[in-house]
Amino acid sequence: MRTAIVNAGTIVSGDWQAPFLDARALVMDKGRIESIGADSAADLGACDVVIDAAGATIIPGLIDSQVHNTFGDYTPRQKTVGFLESYVHGAVTTAISASEVHVPGRPRDPEGVKALALAAQRSFEHFRPGGMRVWAGSIILEPGLTEADFRDIAAKGVWLAKAGFGAVVTPYDYVPLVQWARAAGMITTVHTGGASIPDSSPITGDHLLAMRPHVSFHINGGPTAMPDRDFERVICDSDIALQLCTAGNLRTALMCAGLARKHGAMERLLIATDTPTGSGVMPLGMIYTMSHLASLTDMAPELAVCAATGNNARVYRLNSGFIAPGKDADVAIIDAPVGGTQDTALAALKHGDPCAVGAVITDGEPRFVGQSRNTPAPKRRIRVAECRLVRDFAPARH
């Protein structure tokens, strides 16, 4: 499908070092962003769909880098069907597994955790709930796994590994497992903070610095946070990515964001939700955390958008998260919400309001245009201006 968006008021690139693009339009084709700023009659005439942004803001689709998926679009933790599709209405176009730890009766032996990760990875390889890309299959680090196991599972396509829910004696037992996973080319993630479920252990800065994972999951607490003194140590003494989650401690999220900016670690700051968990299902979790960072600190709202998009993409080696030629055509159009006091999406986030989601495009295909079912309506009339397909992209009404 060839899709264009025209008449953008602002385009946020996803790159925190150059967050704005001097353009008002973009063209997508064959699942990739083809060009930016090209909106000639010839370009638009060759498009199947042309969306009029009406002066609203274009951003990369949000990347939720900690989602507790299981199999299908269902969470047994909250007994909810369709939660991933609902997150698309919160502008989330990509979800990354936090391991399939919530699968009922999950296996804990080495062969079992390998099989679980591979099954999840393969199950979501071609399943896109609501159009969302789900990077599933994160092997849960359990005692008994060997270096050869990580080479084997990585060769089969599993590239995520998660520490924090294994039957280890102490968190220090994860150190060789994390290093073997890294050596196999996998992205390693570690539960951080207090124990969140039975059989898990608190993980502090000492443990993180010993393990050296790629990502400290919910460094602000999942849901309880590690000691305040550990934040600056992790930021200054490592290159670990600092993931802030909606289902965590807001005070330490704000503190960590401030320390990251103070110490020049903005590129390591990630936004995620850590849901569904005991905290529930949060379709607007990413937007709320962006709003919290923008309104309760001196962080510019466009940098909060980049922490939810391009920063996640860089750490996880994804081709999404940026508005740039050749990147995945996963895009959202956001705006100030009807009834709010601000006039643009970024101003609304800075004011502490959620932005309105007016359209989501994944893989170059519009999933809905006009209004999300999960946010207030946008102030501007975002619409399909031209459509050469027998399709209706209007969202379902309440």
What are the structural domains of the chain?
2-60+322-387 (2.30.40.10), 62-283 (3.20.20.140)
Predicted confidence (pLDDT) at residue 199 exceeds the cutoff of 70? no
pLDDT score at 312: 98
pLDDT band at 198, cuts 50/70/90?
low
Contacting residues for 358 by C-beta, under 8 A, at least 6 apart: 53, 56, 333, 334, 335, 369, 370, 371, 372, 378, 380, 382
**How does pLDDT run across 155-169, given as a tens digit for each residue?**
999 999 999 999 999
**Residue range 309-314: mean pLDDT, rounded:** 98
**How does pLDDT run across 27-85, given as a tens digit for each residue?**
999 999 999 986 666 678 899 999 999 999 999 999 999 999 999 999 999 999 999 99
**Residue range 228-236: mean pLDDT, rounded:** 97
Round to whole Å and give the CA distance between 224 and 222.
5
Peptide bond into 171 cis (omega under 30): no
Q: Which amino acid is at 10?
A: T
What's the whole-model pTM score? Answer: 0.96
